[in-house]
Amino acid sequence: MSKIRQIVQLFFEGDHPAETKKKFYRWLLSPSSESEKEKALVEQWNGIESIADSSTKNSFNEVIVRFGVDKRKQRLRATPKLIRIAAVLLIPIITGLAAYLYVKNSENQSVEFVEYFTPNANLRKIDLPDGSSVTMNYGSIIVYPRNFTAKRREVFLSGEAKFTVSHDKKRPFIVKTNDMNIEALGTIFNVSSYVENSEIITTLVDGKVRIDMKNSEENFVLEPLQQIVLDRETGKTFIRQAKLELELAWEKGYLSFQNADIEDIMQEIQRKYDVRIYANYKEIKGEKLTVKFAPDESLYEIFKTIQLLINKFNYRIEGDNIYIY
Amino acid sequence: MNENKLKLYEDIFIKYFPKVKCFITRFIKSSAIAEELTQDVFVKIWENFDKIMYIEYRDAYIYRIARNAALDYITQKYKEESLIDNVKLREGYSIEEEMDAKELELLIELTVNGMPPQRKKVYEMSRIDGLTNDEIAKNLNISKKTVENHLNLALKRIKKIITAFPFLFVIIASHLQ
């Protein structure tokens, strides 16, 4: 292999200190052996065999939002991560919000909205104007009116949050998500509705909630300690007993899963540790795990453990990037 | 929006987005920025969609946009520091030889970076910090034999590269002492 091809190959396959990177770029841009350098780059390009995963779909949704409205390109570069999260989360919310505003307008009231979002690797607790409180998990967004003046207390959620709703018989409290609406009187419940997850779950801790499924128009009533699970791929819904210590462990910084899909587990790790996971799920598709990780456990320990639990699970951690193959 | 156009675009997106992102990530070494750049690439593809219709040039066309996006980003990022290098001439060597030597140094540096962490450490302590094998063994809390093994393997690897370019041996001889 020629020296030039070796240099490009070694640079592409490894992680290098800033000084080396600069040297490489300087070398690459220097006006010598241009056509051989170009050949070496094409060789790298041809050698890539990446396949789409669920994050590709997210990226697609983000990109089509930008068609025709690309004047904010500069801003996007300034705060890439925050805007990116907002863009993913805004898609379901915009649809919900539009419907909401339409209803409000017809009632001839103007409503001011508050929007909160927790970036990756952040938890946040907020108080709603009616005294209800919400604890939000990593990478979640919630939109609610500054004042609950309407007959119903409606909030929009994308991501995961635990609601402790103050009692008000006259004004039902409704959490709207992409796939289901959860209606409560005075109660505590947890909603997990990340756009990138394959399962949408509402867990009732105390009180009573009514669930309206958006697609099937079915209704369910949950008893305490029950949870309703919607499988996004099959569209099937079922109710099961919840293991609360697993479902709510996230509040205390734990990472816990109850018979969860390996792909959803990887999404959760991405959000909590703010890393990127590149996975080829072919070999491990359909694997389900029930497992709980302590708040102080390192990424290394987590992946080591998963490797013990799943056959054919190989990983490599390179800084903020994790490769699963 | 034309439904067929969007459908075709989505197919291309699903097929190429991971490839472009992987390429740019390896190129610029940051997956967060690579995601942004890759999204920019696909906005551009949408805007120039008629070019992508011709399937036989599609791969080369997408490669070119991806490469340019990465190169633009790099030149922008290092704008202040001038990536254009001034080659200092040592006596008795031509500018070509100096540039070749620089290239070889880069190759060695990349090779060392690609070594397992401990081997890299042993190599650097020995060749850059000038520690003896005994000192390295003590410092890293490993046996002297292990240090020697690491050094042997590291040097073997580097020698293999260097012997392919023997006339430059003098300039980079410091790596092998």
Q: Tell me, what CATH number does B69's domain have?
A: 1.10.1740.10
Work out the burial of residue B77: count CB atoms within 10 Å of its CB; fewer than 13 is exposed, 13-18 middle, 19 or more buried.
middle
B161 and B100 in one domain?
yes
Phi and psi dihedrals of B165, rounded to 5? -130, 65
Q: Which of A4, A5, A11, A70 best probes binding to B when mutated, by most B CB atoms within 10 angstroms?
A: A11
pLDDT in tens, B124-138: 898 888 889 999 999
Question: For position A232, what pLDDT does the model report?
Answer: 82
- The closest CB to that of B113, out of A14, A25, A42, belongs to A14
Q: Provide the domain count of chain B.
A: 2
Per the CB < 8 Å rule, is A52 touching B78?
no
Domains in chain A: boundaries: 3-48, 54-242, 253-325
Question: In a mutagenesis test of the B interface, which of A8, A20, A36, A50 is the best target, namely the one with the most B β-carbons within 10 Å?
Answer: A50
Assess whether B102 and B47 both reside in one domain: no
Query: Quick check: A252 pLDDT over 80?
Result: yes
Same domain, B43 and B104: no
pTM (2 decimals)? 0.47
Check pLDDT > 80 for residue A150: no
User: Which positions 265-294 of A are in contact with B (Cβ < 8 Å)?
Assistant: 276, 278
Neighbours of B128 (CB within 10 A): 11
- Residue B94 pLDDT grade (very low, low, confident, very high; cuts 50, 70, 90): low
Per mean pLDDT, which range of A15-19, A170-174, A238-242, A291-295 is the poorest? Answer: A291-295
Contact list in A for residue B102 (CB cut-off 8 A) is: 27
Same domain, B70 and B129: no
Residue A70 has pLDDT above 60, yes or no: no
CB B122 within 8 A of CB B152: no
Band (pLDDT 50/70/90 cuts) for residue A312 is confident
- The pLDDT value given to residue B91: 60
Tokens of B13: 């997106």
Instruction: Output the pLDDT for position A195.
Output: 76
The tokens 């197919």 sit on which residue?
B11
B129 belongs to a structural domain:
yes
B69/B103 same-domain check: no
A192 forms beta bridges with A160, A201
What pLDDT, on the 0 to 100 scale, is given for residue B82? Answer: 55
The helix (H) or strand (E) run that includes residue B50 is: helix B49-52
Query: What does the pLDDT look like over A180-231, one tens digit per residue?
Result: 899 987 789 999 988 778 889 999 998 889 999 887 788 899 999 999 999 8
* Domain annotation covers residue B126: yes
Q: Select, from the ranges A312-316, A317-321, B15-19, the one with the highest average predicted confidence (pLDDT).
A: B15-19
Q: Is the pLDDT of residue A93 over 70?
A: no
* A74 or B96: which leads in pLDDT: B96
- B62: confidence class by pLDDT, cuts 50, 70, 90: very high
CA distance B164 to A99: 69
Q: Is A45 on the interface with B (CB under 8 A)?
A: yes
Claim to verify: residue B72 and residue B7 sit in the same structural domain: yes
pLDDT given for residue A261 in this prediction: 87
Cβ distance B18 to A320 less than 8 Å, yes or no, reads no
Which one is predicted more confidently, A185 or A97?
A: A185
- What is residue A72's predicted lDDT score, i.e. its pLDDT? 35
H-helix or E-strand spanning residue B3: helix B3-28
Q: How far is CA A14 from the centre of its chain?
A: 28
Predicted pLDDT of residue A282: 77
Percent with pLDDT over 70 in chain A: 85
Mean pLDDT, chain A, integer = 80
Q: What mean pLDDT is reported for chain B?
A: 81
Q: What's the pLDDT score for residue A306?
A: 86
Q: Provide the residue range defining the domain that includes B119.
A: 95-175
More confident residue, A79 or A206: A206
Residue B71: the pLDDT is 92
- pLDDT of the residue at A83: 42
Any CB–CB contact under 8 A between A66 and chain B?
yes
Tokens 């000038």 sit on residue: B130
Which amino acid makes up residue B91? Answer: E
**B128–A contact, CB cutoff 8 A:** no
Q: Is the pLDDT of residue A152 over 90?
A: no
Question: What's the rounded mean pLDDT across residues A6-21?
Answer: 91
Least confident of A46-55, A110-119, A152-161, B134-143: A110-119
Q: Is A233 on the interface with B (CB under 8 A)?
A: no
**For residue B5, pLDDT beyond 90:** no
Please check whether residue B86 lies inside any domain of the structure: no
Residue corresponding to tokens 């001038």: B82
SS3 call for B71: helix
Contacts of A23 in chain B (CB under 8 A): 106, 109
In chain A, what residues touch B22 (CB-CB under 8 Å)?
Answer: 48, 50, 278
Cα dist from B176 to A103, A261, B128, whole Å:
77, 52, 11
Kindly report the backbone phi and psi dihedral angles of residue B52, in degrees, each rounded to the nearest multiple of 5, phi listed first: -85, -10
- CB pair distance less than 8 Å for A52 and B14: yes
Q: What pLDDT was estimated at residue B164?
A: 67
Q: Angle B31-47/A80-106 helices, nearest 10 degrees?
A: 60
Task: State the distance between the two ends of chain A, measured CA to CA, in whole angstroms.
Answer: 27
Closest alpha carbon to A321 in B24, B13, B73: B24
Q: Are residues B53 and B120 located together in one domain of the fold?
A: no
Q: What does the pLDDT read at residue B23? A: 96
**Exposure of A267 in the CB half-sphere (CA atoms within 13 A):** 24
What pLDDT is attached to residue A12?
A: 95
On whether residue B83 sits in a domain, the answer given is no
By C-alpha distance, the chain A residue nearest B107 is A7
The pLDDT confidence band at residue A142, using thresholds 50, 70 and 90, is: confident
Residues of B in contact with A24 (CB under 8 A): 106, 110
The mean pLDDT value for B110-131 works out to: 88
Q: Name the residue among A195, A198, A158 with its Cα closest to residue A175.
A: A158
Task: Name chain B contacts of A320, Cβ cutoff 8 Å.
Answer: 31-32
CATH, domain range A253-325: 3.55.50.30
Query: Does the pLDDT of residue A44 top 90, yes or no?
Result: yes
Residue B21: inside a domain, yes or no?
A: yes
Task: Tell me, yes or no, if A56 comes closer than 8 A to chain B by beta carbon.
Answer: yes
Judged by average pLDDT, the poorest of A77-86, B36-45, B99-108 is A77-86
What is the domain class of A54-242 according to CATH?
mainly beta
Q: How far is CA A201 from CA A164, A194, A273, B133, in A?
A: 17, 10, 22, 59
Average the pLDDT over each of B4-8, B24-28, B66-70 and give the range with the smallest value: B4-8
Residue A8 has pLDDT above 50, yes or no: yes
Question: HEC string of chain A?
Answer: CCHHHHHHHHHHHCCCCHHHHHHHHHHHHCCCCHHHHHHHHHHHHHCCCCCCCHHHHHHHHHHHHHCCCHHHHHHHHHCHHHHHHHHHHHHHHHHHHHHHHHHHHHCCCCCCEEEEEECCCCCEEEECCCCCEEEECCCEEEEEECCCCCCCEEEEEEEEEEEECCCCCCCCEEEECCCEEEEECCCEEEEEECCCCCEEEEEEEECCEEEEECCCCCEEEECCCEEEEEECCCCCEEEEECCHHHHCHHHHCCEEEEEEEHHHHHHHHHHHHCCEEEECCCCCCCCEEEEEECCCCCHHHHHHHHHHHCCCCCEEEECCEEEEC
Beta-strand pair A140-145/A226-231 = unpaired
Which CATH number belongs to the domain containing residue B163 in this structure?
Answer: 1.10.10.10
Dihedral Cα A27, A31, A32, A36, nearest 10 deg: 80
Whether A80 sits inside 8 A of B32 (CB atoms) is: yes
Number of Cβ pairs < 8 A linking chain A and chain B: 129
Q: Strand pairing partners for A190?
A: A162, A203
| Residue B71 sits in the same domain as residue B102 | no
B73 and A CB contact within 8 Å: no
Contact of B175 with chain A, judged by CB distance below 8 Å, is answered with: no
Which of chain B's residues have a Cβ under 8 Å away from the Cβ of A64?
6
A69 interface with B at CB cutoff 8 Å: no
- Do residues A143 and A124 make contact, with C-beta atoms less than 8 angstroms apart? no
pLDDT band at A295 (very low <50, low <70, confident <90, very high): confident
B120 and B67, same structural domain?
Answer: no
Q: According to the model, what pLDDT value does residue A185 have? A: 73
Q: What percent of chain A has pLDDT over 90?
A: 18
Residues B164 and B100 in one domain: yes
Which DSSP state fits B89? P
Q: Measured on CA atoms in the order A88, A92, A96, A98, is the torsion positive or negative? A: positive
Answer yes or no: is B90 within a domain. Answer: no
CA dihedral in degrees (A159, A164, A166, A167; nearest 10)? Answer: 100
Q: Do B18 and A50 touch (CB under 8 A)?
A: yes
Distance CA B53, CA A257 (A): 45
**How far is Cα A46 from Cα A212, in angstroms, rounded to an integer?**
49
Comparing B66-70, B89-93, B100-104, B134-138, the range with the smallest average pLDDT is: B89-93
Pairwise CB contact (< 8 Å): B103 & A51: no
The DSSP secondary-structure symbol of B172 reads: T
More confident residue, A239 or B128: A239
Chain B CB within 8 Å of residue A50 CB: yes
Q: Chain A neighbours among B 7-26 (CB < 8 Å)?
A: 10, 13-15, 17-19, 21-23, 25-26
